[in-house]
Amino acid sequence: MKDTWKDYFAFNKRQRNGILVLVSLIALLIIFLFISDYSPSSGTSADFSSFKNELEKAGIKSDTSKNKITSLIDINTADTTELMTLPKMTSYCASMIVRYRKKLGGYYTTAQLKEVWGMDSSIYNAVIDKVWSDSRYVHRLNINTADIKQLGYHPYIKYYLAKAIVNYREQHGPYAGLMDLHQMAAFDSATLTKIMPYLTMGDN
């Protein structure tokens, strides 16, 4: 006997109740998904502290202390071997960076690398974003105690300015402040800005 379409939808009462419950659950699930998609987030960040604690107990430490500076090379402490890891760096240029650092008494800005003998624009542009300078390592000269030879050795001061500093000190007494150098004709604003990081009136 040939089945009709009505035969496929002939359910008893128990079957109809089961289908009704199933359809209701599906409808509720669809409504829930719709509401969750369009409802605004609470804005509360997830707390991963317990997860981190579990990692530490397992001997796995999450390193969140690293920042950009610690990933860069400090040109005031790096040796030639470390400098050679920089892109396009040559052994000659690396040795000149260290040599010039000793003469300066340290770099107070990475822009001073432009002054290094053997540093061309291609090397400079390749390394400038991968280095930094820790100014704590900059050695300062005491303008109230240093003599002409000590001051004159510095590449930014040399003999002429060193003599002017010492002569002014001998004529007017100890410097009360670094800004006293403004009163000397030998120092213009550009020169003072350049050498100020290397001068002090106290112990260093």
Domain ranges within the chain, ordered by starting residue: 12-37, 69-137, 141-200
- Average pLDDT of the chain is 82
Same fold, 69-137 and 141-200: yes
pLDDT at residue number 4: 57
Q: Please, what CATH class does the domain formed by 69-137 belong to?
A: mainly alpha
**Encoded amino acid at 182, one letter:** H
- How confident is the model at residue 8, as a pLDDT? 56
- The tens digit of pLDDT for each residue in 98-123 reads 999 999 999 999 999 999 999 999 99
pLDDT digits (tens, 9 = 90+) for 17-34: 777 777 788 877 777 766
Rounded to two decimals, what is the model's pTM? Answer: 0.63
Asked: is 141-200 a CATH 1.10.150.110 domain? The reply is no
Question: What pLDDT was estimated at residue 201?
Answer: 87
